[in-house]
Amino acid sequence: MSKNDKKQQVETTGHEWDGIQEFNNPLPRWWVWVFYVTIGWGLWYTVAYPAWPLLTGATEGYKGFSTRGQVAADIAAVEAQNAPNNAALAASDLATLQTANPALYSYAVNAGGAVFRTNCVQCHGNEGMGATGYPTLSDDDWLWGGSVVDIAYTVSNGVRNESSPDARFSQMPAFGDILSNEEIANVVAYVRALSGQEADATAAAAGQQVFLDNCSACHGEDGKGDRMVGAPNLADALWLYGGDAATITQTVKNARFGVMPAWSEAFRDGGLTQAEVNAVAIYVHQLGGGE
Amino acid sequence: MSQGDTPLYAAREPIFPKRVSGRFRNLKWGIMLFTLGIYYLTPWIRWDRGPEMPDQAVLVDLAGRRFFFFWIEIWPHEFYFVAGLLIMAGLGLFLFTSALGRVWCGYACPQTVWTDLFILVERWIEGDRNARLRLHRAKWSLNKLRLRLTKWVVWLLIGLATGGAWVFYFTDAPSLAVALVNGTAHPVAYTTMAILTASTFFFGGIAREQVCIYACPWPRIQAAMMDEDTITIGYRGWRGEPRGKASDPNAGDCIDCMACVNVCPMGIDIRDGQQMECITCGLCIDACDDIMTKMGRERGLVDYLALKDETREREGMKKTPIWRHVLRPRTIFYTALWSAFGLAMVFALFVRADIDITVAPVRNPTFVTMSDGSIRNTYDIRIRNKNGEAHKFVFSQTSTERLWLSVEGSEARVVEVPADQMLQVRVYITADAGSPAATAERTVLRFWVQDLESSERASADSYFTGKVR
């Protein structure tokens, strides 16, 4: 059978241009039906799911599906899963949790890590490494106390803020208006000597009396600080704002007023629940400096 | 489609292998019993590993990421044992193929074993070759429907048992068996069983030899391992040809009874010579030997033959003894390679420790200054306790400089790791203020972990980062 014979057998559409005819080769039936089904499915889809654009939004679809709704549902599912742990954590005695309930403790460390990385790292840094003006949480020096209960209180109520009536509060006077420049220079030398840094011996000797008169009420006669008022230990190697003479002079003259928000949901919208406060306190406590 | 075009699709010619008995058939029955026995019974073997460990001898614990094989326990980081076993299996196949041809295909391959079982069931229900041929050609009737349905149900039951046995390898078999019956087992178990039931039914009942011919890559690779010394199945054509009636004095030994063709599960005629489809199962040898014995002629018209012997025998020389075919440089090389892997793995198995540690220094921040001016680094150390009981471990470190080690949550620097678990422990190294390590950029140190019960030790190297002004 030649090619011409084959041509004879096939139906043509009747179209002809310059002797060239158009074959009629219809699509297979099943293929066409699949095509119709996809059209039907496409129409159904636009009714079932958000599809048609409107002036201020789009049709919602009768199934009420949205990706935001899906995320919300996923979050709700995880929260429901964690609810028993959180309830137990909110009610537990933080000081003894590690030995009393190791599993819940481990949950708290992980959950607290998430809370910390969301809310705390902005100032306190990764793993609580701290920054100038923002205390390092992984060392052994604490302004307001480093027990897990102390930490939970600080997280809940914050420091020197106006939202919590129970916030940790103290204020160092700006000694620039009280002391003379010479007295300030002397007390700075004394403070540097206290922490074992290089200082002019005569100035430091003169500064001791200034310190006892003006500073020891909060920082203690030995300069080791007082946690009741959040007065830093001046005799150690750690400086929140810097231990060089210029920075200490600035601190003495103008004072510092570091503020931390009260994180409890009692004091701010979208704040931390009691379980989250406890979790982040446990996390911070195990960063390396917990007492 | 016009005439003269070859269709691209070849419809399958149904095969109805005839019942046969003989040496190789008996060997195949034995191997089938043995391999199916291993497959079905292994999950039920118990092995005592202590109270906190599973007591199943062979268990792939995917959730716990452990593989148990009698006294051996493999952790994920020891997966090279599994890789080694796979390499050994591969080399073993090379060895057997170069010595004995497609002996794996003919006797031990699951596809062959299960198909053999399915054909056995088919014969029990529908009768031998002729009855099955007749049934195949018959129009659908109540009787045909009854026979087919019975066969399919039995096949499905075998498939179900196959899938059922498979899931037992992945969790405790007795408790899973109870859960499966109660309907409380995990959906994954039911899904796996359903998939394996369907695939067993399809591969053993419907696809059969087509899997070997079209789907399996192994037959194609095997040709590379075979040479003229490899034992395959051959037809002594110089003895059998020309075919003819037994009474014909001019004819050869082959009486063209088609016995060898009728029993072949691959549907080929071995007298056409070496063929891709042949899985060297030896059933044609049994069939032909049976006929030759009845005829009073010499057996072995169809026989296990090396290509080399075929040439020799055709020229009237004597056959080379089997051991001279099998023992040749190629097989000796494969054996040596196989044994080398085996010995290396046995060695690795015996020297591996029951504990080991890995150290990850906390890099952000690299160090923390303490209130007394000392410098502290933090490390996350993972201890793996592969013992069957909880063990206590004590930490220490060695270094050229003076460093102090402390462990989060333990003043005694001791932690307890539960049986067969990994524990992450936070460890601190402190260098005194102004000491060499505290001011150097990098100080090398080695962490040690000692098992307080067995005194076994493990170590890992790390470094200490100081504060460089």
Option in B371, B408, B433 nearest A139 (CB): B371
Which pLDDT score, from 0 to 100, does residue B52 have? 77
| Domains of chain B by residue range | 23-219, 227-320, 355-464
Confidence of residue B7 (pLDDT cuts 50, 70, 90): low
Per cent of chain A over pLDDT 70 is 97
Position A53 in a domain: no
Whether residue A129 and residue B364 make contact (CB cut-off 8 A), yes or no, is yes
Per cent of chain A over pLDDT 90 is 77
Position A59 in a domain: no
Position A201 pLDDT exceeds 80 = yes
Which pLDDT score, from 0 to 100, does residue A215 have? 93
Which pLDDT score, from 0 to 100, does residue A1 have? 40
The residue whose two tokens read 């009629």 is A24
Tokens of A178: 């009280």
Give A144→chain B minimum CA distance, Å: 15
Whether residue B365 and residue A141 make contact (CB cut-off 8 A), yes or no, is no
Position A4 pLDDT exceeds 80 = no
Q: How many CB pairs under 8 A join A and B?
A: 52
Alpha helices in B183-224 (DSSP H): 187-200, 209-210, 218-222
Name the closest residue on chain A to residue B364, using Cα atoms.
A126
Which residues of chain B have a Cβ shorter than 8 Å from any chain A Cβ? 2-4, 362, 364-365, 368-373, 376, 378, 408-409, 426, 428, 433
Regarding whether A237 and A98 lie in a shared domain, the answer is no
Position A207 in a domain: yes
Which pLDDT score, from 0 to 100, does residue B245 have? 84
User: Residue A235 in contact with residue A194, Cβ under 8 Å?
Assistant: yes
Regarding whether A130 and A110 lie in a shared domain, the answer is yes
The pLDDT of B285-310, averaged and rounded, is 90
Position B160 pLDDT exceeds 80 = yes
Whether residue B373 and residue A237 make contact (CB cut-off 8 A), yes or no, is yes
Option in B3, B364, B368 nearest A1 (CB): B3
Q: Measured between beta carbons, which residues in chain A are less than 8 angstroms from residue B364?
A: 126-127, 129
Whether residue A286 and residue B371 make contact (CB cut-off 8 A), yes or no, is no
Give B6→chain A minimum CA distance, Å: 15
Position A61 in a domain: no
Which pLDDT score, from 0 to 100, does residue B99 have? 92
Q: How many structural domains is chain A composed of?
A: 3
Position A58 in a domain: no
Position B155 pLDDT exceeds 80 = yes
What is the rounded distance in angstroms from the CA atom of residue A273 to the CA atom of residue A86?
A: 9
Give A114→chain B minimum CA distance, Å: 16
Position A142 in a domain: yes
B interface test, pick of A194, A222, A236 with most B CB neighbours within 10 Å = A236
The domain in which residue A197 lies consists of 175-254
**Per mean pLDDT, which range of A4-18, A233-247, B104-118 is the poorest?**
A4-18
B interface test, pick of A8, A25, A109, A129 with most B CB neighbours within 10 Å = A129
Which pLDDT score, from 0 to 100, does residue B78 have? 86
Per cent of chain B over pLDDT 90 is 57
Q: Which helix (H) or strand (E) holds A15?
A: strand A12-17
Tokens of A157: 């109520």
Cβ of residue A139 closer than 8 Å to a chain B Cβ:
yes
What is the rounded distance in angstroms from the CA atom of residue B274 to the CA atom of residue A132?
A: 84
Whether residue A236 and residue B3 make contact (CB cut-off 8 A), yes or no, is no
Position A54 in a domain: no
Per cent of chain B over pLDDT 70 is 98
Find the CATH number of the domain harbouring A92.
1.10.760.10
Option in B2, B371, B426 nearest A238 (CB): B371
Domain B355-464 CATH class label: mainly beta
Cβ of residue A282 closer than 8 Å to a chain B Cβ:
no
Regarding whether A154 and A268 lie in a shared domain, the answer is yes
Contacts of A120 (CB under 8 A, 6+ apart): A128, A280, A284
What ipTM was assigned to the predicted interfaces of this complex? 0.75
Regarding whether A150 and A27 lie in a shared domain, the answer is no
Name the closest residue on chain B to residue A105, using Cα atoms.
B409
Position A91 in a domain: yes
Residue pLDDT, tens place only, B76-129 = 888 888 899 999 999 999 999 999 999 999 999 999 999 999 999 999 999 999
Q: Which of residues 78-97 of A touch B (CB under 8 A)?
A: none
Position B349 pLDDT exceeds 70 = yes
Confidence of residue B63 (pLDDT cuts 50, 70, 90): confident
Which pLDDT score, from 0 to 100, does residue B242 have? 86
Regarding whether A154 and A270 lie in a shared domain, the answer is yes
The residue whose two tokens read 């440089």 is B329
Regarding whether A264 and A250 lie in a shared domain, the answer is no
Cβ of residue A216 closer than 8 Å to a chain B Cβ:
no
Position B1 pLDDT exceeds 50 = no
- What is the signed CA dihedral for A88, A90, A95, A96, rounded to 10 degrees? -10
Q: Determine how β-strand B355-361 pairs with β-strand B404-407.
A: unpaired
Regarding whether A270 and A128 lie in a shared domain, the answer is yes
Regarding whether A264 and A193 lie in a shared domain, the answer is no
Name the closest residue on chain A to residue B434, using Cα atoms.
A237
What is the rounded distance in angstroms from the CA atom of residue B339 to the CA atom of residue B91?
A: 10
Regarding whether A74 and A145 lie in a shared domain, the answer is yes
Tokens of A125: 């840094």
Position B216 pLDDT exceeds 80 = yes
- Whether the ω angle into residue B361 lies within 30 degrees of 0, i.e. cis, is no
Regarding whether A88 and A158 lie in a shared domain, the answer is yes
Regarding whether A280 and A144 lie in a shared domain, the answer is yes
Residue pLDDT, tens place only, B37-49 = 999 999 999 998 8
Which pLDDT score, from 0 to 100, does residue B431 have? 94
Position B8 pLDDT exceeds 80 = no
Option in A6, A138, A286 nearest B368 (CB): A138
Mean residue pLDDT of chain A comes to 91
Single-letter residue type at A190: Y
Residue pLDDT, tens place only, B192-215 = 999 999 999 999 999 999 999 889
Which pLDDT score, from 0 to 100, does residue B2 have? 45
Confidence of residue A2 (pLDDT cuts 50, 70, 90): very low
Which is it for the CA torsion A130, A134, A139, A145, positive or negative? negative
Option in A125, A127, A196 nearest B362 (CB): A127
Confidence of residue A8 (pLDDT cuts 50, 70, 90): low
What is the rounded distance in angstroms from the CA atom of residue B236 to the CA atom of residue B260?
A: 13
Mean residue pLDDT of chain B comes to 90
Regarding whether A274 and A231 lie in a shared domain, the answer is no
Cβ of residue A60 closer than 8 Å to a chain B Cβ:
no
Whether residue B2 and residue A6 make contact (CB cut-off 8 A), yes or no, is yes
Position A3 pLDDT exceeds 60 = no
